[in-house]
Amino acid sequence: MTTTPDKTEVDLVTLTIDGVEVSVPAGTLVIRAAEQIGVQVPRFCDHPLLEPVGACRQCLVDVPDAGNGRGFPKPQASCTLPVAPGMVVSTQATSPVADKAQQGVMEFLLVNHPLDCPVCDKGGECPLQNQAMSNGRGESRFATSGSGGVKRTFPKPINLSPQVLLDRERCIVCQRCTRFADEIAGDPFIALVERGAQQQIGIAEDAPFLSYFSGNTIQICPVGALTSESYRFRSRPFDLVSTPSVAEHDACGSAIRVDHRRGKVMRRLAGDDPEVNEEWLTDKDRFAFTYASLEDRLTHPMVRDRVEDGGDGSLRPASWPEAFAVAARGLHAAGGVGVLTGGRLTAEDAYAYAKFARVSLGTHDIDFRARPHSAEEAEFLAAHVALTGPWDGGVTYADLESARTVVLVGLEPEDEAGAIFLRLRKSVRHGGTRVLALAPYTTRGLRKMHGTLVPTVPGQEPAVIADLLGRADHGIDAGAVVLVGERLAAVPGAFSAVADLVAKTGARLAWVPRRAGDRGAVEAGCLPTLLPGGRPVADAAARVDVATSWGVGSLPEGPGRDADAIVAALAAGELGGLVVAGVEPDDTTDPAATRAAIEAASFVVALGLRDTEVTRAADVVFPVAAAVEKAGTFLTWEGRPRPFEAVLPSPTSLPDLRVLAGISEELAALGQGAPLGFRTVADVRAEMSQLGPWDGARPTMTPVQPAASTEGQDGLALSTWKLMIDGGSMQDGDKHLAATARPAVARVNPATYAALGLVEGAAVTVTGDRGSVTMPVEVVDDMTDGTVWVPASSTGAGVFAGLASPGTRVTVKGAGA
Q: Which residues bind other proteins (CB under 8 A)?
A: 118-119, 153, 155, 232-236, 238-239
Name the DSSP letter for residue 35.
H
Residue 116 vs 296, nearer CB to other proteins? 116
Residue 19 contacts residue 94 (beta carbons within 8 Å): yes
Least distance in angstroms from the C-beta of 173 to other proteins: 23
CA-to-CA distance for 437 and 414, rounded, in angstroms?
Answer: 12
CA-to-CA distance for 329 and 322, rounded, in angstroms?
Answer: 11
Least distance in angstroms from the C-beta of 151 to other proteins: 13
Least distance in angstroms from the C-beta of 126 to other proteins: 16
Residue 215 contacts residue 736 (beta carbons within 8 Å): no
Q: What one-letter code names the amino acid at 737?
A: L
Give the DSSP letter string of 273-295: BTTTTBT---HHHHHTTGGGGST
Residue 165 vs 792, nearer CB to other proteins? 165
Please, which residues have CB within 8 angstroms of residue 6's CB and are 6 or more apart in sequence? 402
Residue 121 contacts residue 166 (beta carbons within 8 Å): no
Residue 770 contacts residue 805 (beta carbons within 8 Å): yes
Residue 153 vs 652, nearer CB to other proteins? 153
Name the DSSP letter for residue 204.
B
Least distance in angstroms from the C-beta of 238 to other proteins: 8
Least distance in angstroms from the C-beta of 229 to other proteins: 9
For residue 348, the tally of other CB atoms under 10 A from its CB is 26
Residue 570 contacts residue 595 (beta carbons within 8 Å): no
Residue 239 vs 296, nearer CB to other proteins? 239
Per DSSP, the three-state class of 632 is strand
Least distance in angstroms from the C-beta of 743 to other proteins: 25
Per DSSP, the three-state class of 148 is coil
Residue 157 vs 608, nearer CB to other proteins? 157
Residue 232 vs 444, nearer CB to other proteins? 232
CA-to-CA distance for 201 and 779, rounded, in angstroms?
Answer: 32
Phi, psi of 615 (to 5 degrees): -70, -30
Residue 239 vs 769, nearer CB to other proteins? 239
Residue 224 vs 459, nearer CB to other proteins? 224
Per DSSP, the three-state class of 656 is helix
Least distance in angstroms from the C-beta of 233 to other proteins: 5
Name the DSSP letter for residue 359.
I
* Strand (E) or helix (H) holding 217: helix 215-220
CA-to-CA distance for 235 and 244, rounded, in angstroms?
Answer: 19
Choose among 99, 63, 67: nearest CA to 86.
67
Residue 508 contacts residue 395 (beta carbons within 8 Å): yes
Residue 398 contacts residue 276 (beta carbons within 8 Å): no
Residue 95 vs 230, nearer CB to other proteins? 230
For residue 119, the tally of other CB atoms under 10 A from its CB is 10
Per DSSP, the three-state class of 754 is helix
Least distance in angstroms from the C-beta of 218 to other proteins: 17
Residue 195 vs 262, nearer CB to other proteins? 262
Residue 241 vs 682, nearer CB to other proteins? 241
* Cα-based torsion angle of the residue sequence 26, 27, 31, 32 in order, rounded to the nearest 10 degrees: -60
Residue 317 contacts residue 251 (beta carbons within 8 Å): no
Per DSSP, the three-state class of 134 is helix
Radius of gyration of the chain measured on its C-alpha atoms: 29
Least distance in angstroms from the C-beta of 235 to other proteins: 8
Distances (CA, A) of 722 to 583, 719, 728, 774: 16, 11, 9, 17
Give burial (CB, 10 Å; 0-12/13-18/19+) of 174: buried
Least distance in angstroms from the C-beta of 118 to other proteins: 6
**Cis, peptide link before residue 157, omega less than 30° from 0:** yes
Q: What one-letter code names the amino acid at 675?
A: P
CA-to-CA distance for 290 and 288, rounded, in angstroms?
Answer: 6
Least distance in angstroms from the C-beta of 317 to other proteins: 29
**Cis, peptide link before residue 559, omega less than 30° from 0:** yes
Least distance in angstroms from the C-beta of 225 to other proteins: 16
Least distance in angstroms from the C-beta of 119 to other proteins: 5
Residue 41 vs 120, nearer CB to other proteins? 120
Residue 12 vs 119, nearer CB to other proteins? 119
Residue 235 vs 774, nearer CB to other proteins? 235
Least distance in angstroms from the C-beta of 157 to other proteins: 8
Residue 238 vs 391, nearer CB to other proteins? 238
Please, which residues have CB within 8 angstroms of residue 108's CB and are 6 or more apart in sequence? none
Residue 154 vs 320, nearer CB to other proteins? 154
Please, which residues have CB within 8 angstroms of residue 740's CB and are 6 or more apart in sequence? 161, 162, 163, 210, 214, 283, 725
Least distance in angstroms from the C-beta of 120 to other proteins: 10
* Cα-based torsion angle of the residue sequence 803, 806, 807, 811 in order, rounded to the nearest 10 degrees: 0
Least distance in angstroms from the C-beta of 163 to other proteins: 15
Residue 119 vs 707, nearer CB to other proteins? 119
How long, in residues, is the chain?
817
Least distance in angstroms from the C-beta of 231 to other proteins: 12
CA-to-CA distance for 495 and 462, rounded, in angstroms?
Answer: 8
Residue 43 contacts residue 56 (beta carbons within 8 Å): yes
Least distance in angstroms from the C-beta of 234 to other proteins: 8
Residue 232 vs 404, nearer CB to other proteins? 232
